[in-house]
Structure 1
Amino acid sequence: MSLSQWQWETATAGAVAGFATVAAMYPLDIVRTRFQVNDGRVTNFPAYKNTAHAIFTITRLEGLKGLYAGFLPAVLGSTVSWGLYFFFYGRAKQRYSKNREEKLSSGHHLASAAEAGALVSLCTNPIWLIKTRLQLQNPLHQSRRYSGIYGLPFILRYFANALRTILREEGWTALYKGLGPGLLMVSHGAIQFTAYEELRRIMVDYKEKKQKSEGASNLLNSFDYALLGGSSKIAAILITYPFQVIRTRAQQRPSKEGIPRYMNSWHVVKETARFEGIRGFYKGITPNLLKNVPASSITFIVYENVLKLLRPKRRND
C-alpha cells in the first residue's frame, strides 16, 4: 500500500469519526460554551444552575433548535479538523518512521500530534469562531442576531450571514480571534494522542502475551477503543481546559457599539484571574467532560473500525 493511499484512508476515517462525534454530543457543546462566557458580571444569558438546568432552560426559551445553534460550522469544523488532524498526524508519523513496522517513541508521537494540531488550528480557526458566535445567540441577543440569507439552503443561511457580517463589521482579522489559545490547545491533542498511543501499545502487548498463553486470537475490539479514547481524553481535558475558556471568551461578538467584551486573549486571562480566580478557567468543565469523554470514545471506535473497512487485509492491532 502506498504512503499516499494510507494517508487518505487515515484522513477519511478521521473525518467520519469527527462527524459522528459532533452529531451525538452537540447539545452539551452549547451548554459548555455558554457556561464558559458567563463571568458573573456582564452576561446576556439566563442563570444556569447546572448542566441539566441549562438544557431545560435553553429548550424552554429557544426550542430544540437552540440546542443545535451553530451545528453546521460545528459539523464542518469537526469533520475538517479530524480529517486534517489524522492526515497530518499520519504524515508526521510516517516521516519519523523509516518503515511501517518500526515502533515510534513517545517523543515522536508527541511531536506528530503537536505538529498536526498547529496546522489544523491555523486552517480551522474561522470556522470555530463562527460556531461560537452562533452558539451564543439567544433571545436576549435579539437586536444583535445574525439573520439568515434567504435563497440559500436553510442550514447555510446563518453560517453565511455570520461570515459576511463579521467580515463587514470587524474585518478578516476577526476570524482569527482566539488563535493564540487555540495554538496552545495543540498540547491537548498532543497529550491525548500520546496517551492513546502508549495505552494502546500496552494493551496490545498484554493481549499478545495472553494470545500466546491461551492460543486464541485477542484483537482489540470496540470496547477497547472506547476505553482507550475516553481515558486519554480525561488527562488532556484536565490539563488544557483553561485554554478553551480563554478562546471562547476572546471570540465573543462585540457590543452594538463595536466594543469587544475582551480586547484580546491576554485581557481574558487578566480579567478572569482578577474577578473569578482559578475556578473561572474551569467554567463549563462538567458538560465538557460529559460531552468529550464519551465523544472521544465514539471517535476512536469509528476511526479504528473505518480503518478496518478501508484496509481489510491489514492487521489493525
Structure 2
Amino acid sequence: MPQDVHSKRDVFDATYAGSITRPLLPPLRSDSRTKRNPPRSLRDYQGSETEHERKARLRALWLSLPQNVTDHNPKVDTQEGHSAAYQPLTKERAQRLRDLYESELARECNGHQWLFQGAVVDWEGFLKYAESKEEELWKVFHNDLDLDGNGMLDATELQHALTSAGIELDSKTLADFMAFLTSSTHSRPISFPEFRDFLLLLPRTPSVSEIFQYYEVCKYLGDDGRGSARVNMEGDVSLSAEDRPPAKHHGRIAQGPIESGTGSEASPPISRDMEPTDGQISVSDVIGEGEEEEEEHETWLGGSMALKFLFAGGVAGAVSRTCTAPFDRLKIYLITRKVDNVGSWMIPTRSHGVTVIANAMRGIYLESGLLGFWIGNGLNVVKIFPESAIKFLSYEASKRMFARYWDHVDDSRDISGISRFMAGGIGGITSQLAIYPIETVKTQLQSTSGGQIRTMLAPTMRRMWADGGVRAYYRGLAAGLIGVFPYSAIDMSTFEALKLAYIKASGKEEPGVLALLAFGSVSGSVGATSVYPINLVRTRLQASGSSGHPQRYTGVWDVAQKTYAEEGWRGFYRGLAPTLAKVIPAVSISYVVYEHTKRRLGV
C-alpha cells in the first residue's frame, strides 16, 4: 500500500487509482468485459488489425499534424526537456516543448532533413516513423513497464516506474495521469493500444520522465483550469466555451487515443488545401462523403463532438433553471413591486428580512398559485440553446481574431489573458444582443400581476409591440451591456485569487473538481453582487409598463434617480438574497446533470 494512504478517503482514492487491488468498486460500463491472453509479440498484436484499418488509423493521425512546421535549431533547441531529471512545467515551457515536439517529429518523418517554412510531414515518411515508433513503444511497455506480463499497465506498475525515475505522485495525481492516458472519465489499467496511441507522436525516446512530461504538456495546453460550471450575472450556470473536446485543428499535439476503424469520431478535421499526392491514399479511403461535409464546419463548431457538449450544457441548464425558477421569480417580484407591498430585504433586522421574503412568496402564491413560481421559465429554458451557441461561436471567432491580429500566435488557445478576457466579453455581449428580446418578454411575464399563466404570452407580446414597437423589446439593453465587462473582470480575478490561495495552502498543483465548483460559485456570486445595481436598473426598465410595475422611465439615469429617491441605496439591492441563494443549488444541479448527460452521449 502506498505510504500516503492513511484515511478512509485515501484508501478510496488509492483503490480508485488502482494502487490497491481490493475491488471496492464494481466494474464500470466503459471497462472491457472480455478476458483475452495478451499477444506475445508485436507481430501477433498487429495481426488483430487489418491493413486497411491500420492505414486508416494512421492516416487520421497524420492528417491531424501541423501543415506548416517552423524548424528550430537542432543543435540547441532540441536539448530542451532532454534532461534525465524531471523538471516542473510552466506555460512558456509547455508551449516551447509543444513546438519542439512538432519540429522534431517532422524531422523524424522527413529523414532528418532541415525543414523550411511551410514544410509538411511526408505521408510515406510518417508510415515508416509510425512502424519504428510502435516497435519502440512495444518494447518499453512490455519489457520495462508491464512487470507481471498481463498486457495491462496498472497503477502499481506505473507508480513503481515513476518512483524509479524520481517522480513522486500522490494517488489522485496518479489516477488523473492514468485516466488521461486512457481518455477515460476514471482511472483504469492502461492497454498497449491506449499507450501506443497516446505516445505515437512523441518523437523522443519514451523514457518514463519523457512520457510524464509529454502528458503534462498535453494536459497543460488543453484546459483553462476553470472547470465546467460558470455562474453568470443572473446567478444561473452557463456552459463554459472552454469545456469541449480539445481542438483538433492542425498544429496541436494529439491529446488522446485514436481508435481503430473509420468512424467519424476517429478522424481529425480534413484540410481542404492538403490534397494527397501521387501514390498516397485518398481521403475517401479513410472517411465517407458525409463525414467530409461535417468537417467543413469543424473550424468553428468543433464538429459533432462540440455539438454534443453544447447539448449537454443545454440540458444541464434547462434542468437547473427549472429547479431554481422560484428563486428567479421571487427576485423579479421583489425588484418590481412597491416597497410598501413587500418592503426591502436589505434591512437592519434579520427577522424583518425573512418576513419580507415570506410575504413575497405568499403574494406570488395568492396571485397565480403554485405554478406562479414558474412563470417565465419556459422562455428561460428556450433561450439556453441559442444563447450558448451564439456565445460559443462569437467567443471562438474573437479568440481567433485576437490570436491572428493581436497576439500573433497560431493557436487560439495560446492567446494572452487580456485577449481571453476581451473575447469572453465580446461573446457575452453578442449573446445578450441576440436573446435580449426573449429576456425582456420573460421579465414582463414575471412582473405581470394576476392573469391566466397559459394565456399570458401572446397578450404580453402584443402589448409590448403596441407600447413601443421593436424598441420595447430592447429596454435596458445599455445597462445590460455595461455590466458584462466589469462582471467578467471581477469574476475572473476573484476566481484566480481563490485558486492561487488554495494551491498555496494545500500544496497541490491543481484544485479538484469540488474546489473548482466552490471557487466558481464564490467568484460568480461576488461578481453578481458587484454589478447587481446595474442588473436591477435593467430589470426595472424591462418590466416598466406591466401590471405589476406600471412605472414609466425615460432611461437608465431616470431609474437610478427614482430608485434612490424612494428607497435609498438599499433599493439597488432588492432581490439580491434569492439571487445568491440559488447559486449553490444551480451549480450543483448543473454539474451533476451535465456530467450525466455527457456520459449518456458518450463524450
Normalised-by-shorter TM-score class = 0.7 to 0.9
Match of 2:364 in 1: 58
Change (3 A) 1:137 1:176: same
Aligned equivalents of 2:321, 2:529: Cα separation in 1? 21
| Contact kept in structure 2, 1:36 and 1:245, CA below 8 Å | yes
Aligned equivalents of 1:300, 1:106: Cα separation in 2? 26
Match of 2:545 in 1: 254
Match of 1:25 in 2: 324
Unaligned runs of 5+ in 1: 140-144, 149-153, 212-217, 313-317
1:212-259 residue CA offsets vs partner (Å, 9 max, x unmatched): xxxxxx8943x2442233122112112110111101111224278xx7
The equivalent position to 1:4 in structure 2, one of 276, 292, 300, is 300
Aligned residues between the structures: 287
Match of 2:467 in 1: 169
Which residue type is aligned with residue 20 of structure 1? V
1:98-118 residue CA offsets vs partner (Å, 9 max, x unmatched): 455854433123212210111
The equivalent position to 2:387 in structure 1, one of 81, 89, 102, is 81
The CA deviation at 1:294 is 3.6
The CA deviation at 1:309 is 6.9
| Contact kept in structure 2, 1:106 and 1:198, CA below 8 Å | no
The equivalent position to 1:120 in structure 2, one of 408, 427, 431, is 431
The equivalent position to 1:243 in structure 2, one of 534, 559, 563, is 534
The equivalent position to 1:67 in structure 2, one of 365, 373, 378, is 373
Aligned equivalents of 2:388, 2:494: Cα separation in 1? 15
Matched, 1:131 2:422: no
Kindly indicate whether structure 1 or structure 2 has the higher relative contact order, using CA contacts under 8 Å at least 6 residues apart. 1
Which residue type is aligned with residue 325 of structure 2? Y
Secondary structure in 2 matching 1:251? helix
Match of 1:142 in 2: none
Secondary structure in 2 matching 1:261? coil
Change (3 A) 1:279 1:164: same
Match of 2:565 in 1: 274
More helix by share: 1
Change (3 A) 1:295 1:36: same
Match of 1:315 in 2: none
Correspondence list, 1:64-213, <5 A:
64-97=370-403, 98=409, 102-139=413-450, 154=454, 157-187=455-485, 190-191=488-489, 194-195=492-493, 198=496, 210=508
Secondary structure in 2 matching 1:263? coil
| Contact kept in structure 1, 2:495 and 2:520, CA below 8 Å | no
Which residue type is aligned with residue 194 of structure 1? M
| Contact kept in structure 1, 2:311 and 2:385, CA below 8 Å | no
Change (3 A) 1:188 1:132: farther
Aligned equivalents of 1:254, 1:58: Cα separation in 2? 19
Query: Deviating runs (4+, > 6 A) in structure 1?
Result: 203-206, 307-311
TM-score, with normalisation over the residues of structure 2? Answer: 0.42
Which residue type is aligned with residue 36 of structure 1? I
Secondary structure in 1 matching 2:386? helix
Change (3 A) 1:107 1:101: closer
Q: CA RMSD for the aligned pairs?
A: 3.7
1:165-192 residue CA offsets vs partner (Å, 9 max, x unmatched): 3213331210111111111121365236
The CA deviation at 1:86 is 3.5
Match of 1:40 in 2: 339
Change (3 A) 1:23 1:185: same
Unaligned runs of 5+ in 2: 1-247, 249-297, 345-354, 404-408
Which residue type is aligned with residue 388 of structure 2? W
Match of 1:228 in 2: 519
Match of 2:89 in 1: none
Which residue type is aligned with residue 229 of structure 1? G
Correspondence list, 1:274-293, <5 A:
274-293=565-584
Change (3 A) 1:60 1:47: farther
Provide the identity percentage.
25
Aligned equivalents of 1:109, 1:244: Cα separation in 2? 24
Change (3 A) 1:101 1:91: closer
1:75-120 residue CA offsets vs partner (Å, 9 max, x unmatched): 2234432343344334433444545585443312321221011111
> Once structures 1 and 2 are overlaid, which stretch shifts more, 164-173 or 51-60?
51-60
Change (3 A) 1:272 1:101: closer
Aligned equivalents of 2:414, 2:484: Cα separation in 1? 23
| Contact kept in structure 1, 2:495 and 2:523, CA below 8 Å | no
Aligned equivalents of 1:80, 1:210: Cα separation in 2? 38
Aligned equivalents of 1:12, 1:123: Cα separation in 2? 19
TM-score, with normalisation over the residues of structure 1? Answer: 0.74
| Contact kept in structure 2, 1:69 and 1:135, CA below 8 Å | yes
Aligned equivalents of 1:100, 1:305: Cα separation in 2? 31
Aligned equivalents of 1:262, 1:190: Cα separation in 2? 28
The CA deviation at 1:51 is 2.6
Aligned equivalents of 1:195, 1:83: Cα separation in 2? 25
Change (3 A) 1:138 1:287: same
Change (3 A) 1:27 1:99: farther
